[in-house]
Amino acid sequence: MDKFVKQYNIRTYECDKNSNLRILTLMNILQDMADSHATDLHLGLEFCLSQGLAWVGSNYHIKINRLPTLHETIKVTTWPAAEKKIGAIRDFVVEDEEGNQIIVASSQWILIDFNKKKPVSLREHLPFYQIIDERVLETDFVRLPELERVDCSRQFKVRFDDIDINKHVNNAVYPLWATEAVDYDFRDAHIPAEIEIAFKKECHLQETVEVKTQMTDMTSITSITSLTDGRELAKLRIHWK
C-alpha cells in the first residue's frame, strides 16, 4: 500500500497575527488527511456511518520544528503505521517546498459502536487494509501528569461551530483552548514545539469548560473539564519555544 500524499497552500485566514499557520488549522489538516486516506481505503466516514461505527481520536503527539507561514505550500504525508486490537496508529509528516520535515505527528484512533459508545475490534468490523510498518515518531502516548497547581484558568462556552459531524466538540478545538489558556504576552512571543493530547470524554453544545494550566519554565500542562459535571475532557502537555 502507498502512503497518502496531499499538498496544501497556506491561506490568509488560516494564519495567526504573526503569519504562522494556526494550530487549529494544523489539527484540521491532519484530520482531513486521516479522513481522506481512510475513505480511499474504504473505511472512512461513509463506510462507518453505514455500519453504525465512528472513528474517535484518543491521542496525538506532535513535534513542530517550525510552523508553515502565509502562502507557503506544504506537502503532507500519512499512513497507518501500527495497529492494536481496538486502536489504530496513524502517522504524519509535513514537509516544506525544499523537502525539509517541519512537522511530524502520530495519532491514535479508536473505532467505536456509535450507539453504544463502546470500542469494537478493528479487524472484526473493517475491510482488510495493510499497515506500513514505519513510525515517524516513536511514542507510546504516555499518561500525562496531573496538575500540581493552577497558574492560569480560562472558561469557554462551547459554540455551535465547535461541534463536528459526530455531534461533539471537534478534536482540533482542544489545543486551541489550551494555547489560549496561557499568559497572552507569553503566547505572543512563543509557539508550540511539541504537543501531546489525551482525549478523555465527549463535550457537547452549550457546555461551559474550564481550562486550567500549570506553567513550568517552557512547559504547560493543561486540564480541560466540563463545569456541567466536572468530568475531565482532555489533558495536554505543550513544550514551547
Q: What is the domain partition of the chain in residue ranges?
A: 4-125, 152-240
| Percentage of residues in the chain having pLDDT higher than 70 | 100
The alpha carbon of 97 is separated from its chain's Cα centroid by a whole number of angstroms, namely 24
Task: Give the mean model confidence (pLDDT) for residues 152-165.
Answer: 95
List, for residues 56-104, the tens digit of each pLDDT value. Answer: 899 999 999 999 999 999 999 999 999 887 789 999 999 999 999 999 9
Per-residue pLDDT, 49: 86
Per-residue pLDDT, 162: 95
Confidence of residue 116 (pLDDT cuts 50, 70, 90): confident
pLDDT of 70 reads 97
Residues 6+ apart with CB under 8 A from 152: 181, 182, 183, 212, 213, 215
- Closest C-alpha among 9, 20, 12 to residue 189: 20
Is the model's pLDDT at 45 over the cut of 90? no
Higher pLDDT, 105 or 140: 105
Question: What phi and psi, each to the nearest 5 degrees, are found at residue 114?
Answer: -65, -40
Model pLDDT, residue 128: 85
Q: Which of 28-32, 154-158, 165-169, 232-236 has the lowest mean pLDDT?
A: 165-169
pLDDT-derived band of residue 126, with 50, 70 and 90 as boundaries?
A: confident
Does 53 have pLDDT greater than 80?
Answer: yes
Residue 54's pLDDT is 87
Please determine whether the domains at 4-125 and 152-240 fall in the same fold group of CATH: yes
pLDDT at 127 over 80: yes
Cell readout for 193 is: 514545539
For the chain, the average pLDDT equals 94
Residues with Cβ < 8 Å from 209, sequence gap 6 or more? 155, 156, 158, 177, 203, 224, 225, 226, 227, 233
Place of cell 478545538: 173
Region 2-13: mean pLDDT is: 97
Exposed, middle or buried by CB within 10 Å (0-12, 13-18, 19+), for 159? Answer: exposed
pLDDT for 166-176, tens place per residue? Answer: 889 999 999 99
What gap in Å lies between CA 19 and CA 16, rounded to an integer? Answer: 5
Contact indicator for 213, 150 with CB cutoff of 8 Å:
yes
Question: Is the model more confident about 51 or about 104?
Answer: 104
Please report the pLDDT score of residue 222 as a whole number: 98
Fold of 4-125: Thiol Ester Dehydrase; Chain A (3.10.129)
Query: Grid coordinates representing 88?
Result: 489504530
Q: 222-229 — which CB contacts under 8 Å span 24+ positions?
A: 222/177, 222/178, 222/181, 223/146, 223/147, 224/174, 224/177, 224/178, 226/201, 227/155
Q: Which three cell numbers stand for residue 211?
A: 481550562
Determine how many CB atoms are found less than 10 A away from the CB of residue 44. Answer: 16
Would you list the DSSP string of 166-212?
TSSB-TTHHHHHHHHSS-HHHHHH--EEEEEEEE-S---TT-EEEEE
Better-predicted residue by pLDDT, 224 or 51: 224
State the Cα–Cα distance between residues 8 and 33, nearest whole angstrom. 11
pTM of the entire predicted model: 0.94
- The share of the chain scoring above pLDDT 90, in percent, equals 80
Q: What is the pLDDT at residue 123?
A: 81
Q: How confident is the model at residue 109 (pLDDT cuts 50, 70, 90)?
A: very high
The single-letter DSSP state of residue 29 is: H
Of 11, 4, 37, residue with least CA distance to 25? 11
Domain 152-240 fold is Thiol Ester Dehydrase; Chain A (3.10.129)
